[in-house]
Structure formats: C-alpha cells, structure tokens
Amino acid sequence: MKIHPSSIIEDGAILGDDVEVGPFCRVGHQVKLGNNVNLQSHVVITGNTIIGDNARIFPFASIGQEPQDLKFGGEETSLVIGNNCLIREGVTINTGTEGGGSKTTIGDNCVLLANSHVAHDCHLRNNIILSNNVMLAGHCHIDDNVICGGGSAVHQFSRIGRNSFLGGLAGIEGDVIPFGMMIGARANLVGLNVIGMKRSGIERASIKAANSAYKLIFAGDIPIRDVVKQLRETADDAMVIEILDFIDAAKDRQLCKPKPSNK
C-alpha cells in the first residue's frame, strides 16, 4: 500500500492489496476497499461502504455520506460498489435508508463521470455510464448497459430498463422500457436504442422483433395493457418478452411513452 502522509485512514478501515491513497483523503472506520483501489487526492469515503477491486476515484468525490432524506434518523445503512468502477471528480454517492431497504448498490464496470449523483437506495447493475452532472433521485433502479447523457435527471422510484439511452438534459419522470431511447427536456420515448442493442451483440432478428412490438405497443389507440396481453399470445422472442415483462411488473412510476401526435 502507498498512503500519502497527509491522508487519514481511520482505525477499523480495511484496505486490500496494492491500494494507493493520494494526498488529503479520508477513509472512514467502516470502509472496506478491495485490491488495487486508487484514490487520487481529496477523496472522502465514509459510512458502511464497500468498494470492490480496481476502482479509480478522482478528486473531491464524496462516497458513503448519509442520505439526503429528511426522514433519515442516523440508522445503520450501507453502500456497496462492485469491481472495476471509475468514479470521476465531484461524484456523490449516498448510503441507503431504512425505508428503502437500507442499501445503495452499484455493480461492476460502471463509469460515473464528473459531478454525477447517486442518491439513497438506488440500485445500479453493471456496465452503466453516468455522464457529467447526471442526477439519480432516491430508489431508482438502473439495469445493465444503460447510458445516461450529460445533465439527465431521473425521478425517484423510476426504473430504467437495460440497454436504454437517456439523452443529454433529459428529465425522466417514469419508467423506461428496456432498449428505450429518451429525448427531450421533459423526455419522451422516441424509439428503441438500436445502436446500443447492436453494440451489445443482440441479433438482428431480435432487434426487428422488438421494433415491431414497440410500434404495436405505443402507436395505436388501444390501451397498452391490452396490447401487451395480445402480444403475449404469440411472442416468442426473448427481447420482446423482456419488454412485456417490464411493463407488467409492479412499479412506482408511470410508464414513459412517446409524445402524443397532433392528429
């Protein structure tokens, strides 16, 4: 381990092999850092926080602070971050709350760019990119391979399905279906994230089937639940079934939809 003499490692903190701590960092007594973690400088990690192997954390990141929730009463909550994560300047990540399961989680291979914020009780899966100034309110669930454009904001309790794309400055007020593409200040669904699907290795036939299902679900005047029920009778593609399951799943937010036409 290489620890700069200006940094404070509190008694009780557990540091893995080959950890490097630059100047003016503080690591709290409940913190556990995996192997090969690098804190560049002026990084604060506190609370009951676990960070996996190979994390790179840049200056002025504040990780594991208590949640920004007025109901929080100092109860024991936690934050768990997976392996190979990149956390850039000024990122803030809070622990959970008792009312939300007491835990915030971030998976493997995630990239959190400058000044992005992950609030209490959020659950991020793997291979997620939060661009600069992205804001996730409490209790958000972000699935694998999601890209959030710069300055986008996600309302509390929203679910963002896998391989979806949130455009820059998009305000997300509800759930986004898997592979959805959201564009606009108060964002509307504008189609599927076909480029992201191709990059993830999804077969052309599945992309075509998902596109056809998308048009049927959102293009007509028939209630979405009725269309979903009809599609289930014939759907045999895994991507289509995933979208149908997402829509049918229990949720706390309304479903994001395309902008109504001016017919």
Residue 237 burial (10 A CB sphere; 0-12, 13-18, 19+):
middle
Q: Is 175 a catalytic residue?
A: no
Q: Is 74 in the active site?
A: no
**How many beta carbons lie within 10 A of that of residue 22, not counting itself?**
19
Give me the catalytic one of 47, 96, 107, 138. 138
Q: Which amino acid is at 158?
A: S
For 48, the token pair is: 């009951």
| Exposure string for 168-187, b = 16+ CB within 10 A, e = fewer | eebbbebbbbbbbbbbeeeb
**Which of 42, 117, 120, 141 is an active site residue?**
120
From the candidates 22, 42, 52, 121, which is the catalytic residue? 121
Q: Is 220 a catalytic residue?
A: no
Token output for 156:
């509390």
- Go through 194-217 and write b for each residue having 16 or more CB atoms within 10 A of its CB, e for each that does not: bebbeeeebeeebbebbbebbebb
C-alpha closest to that of 177 among 245, 110, 229: 245
Q: Which helix (H) or strand (E) holds 206?
A: helix 204-219
Nearest to 153 by CA among 132, 136, 178: 136
> Can you tell me the distance from the alpha carbon of 225 to that of 235, in angstroms, rounded to the nearest whole number?
15
What tokens were used for 39?
A: 């804190």
Which active-site residues does the annotation give?
Answer: 120-121, 138
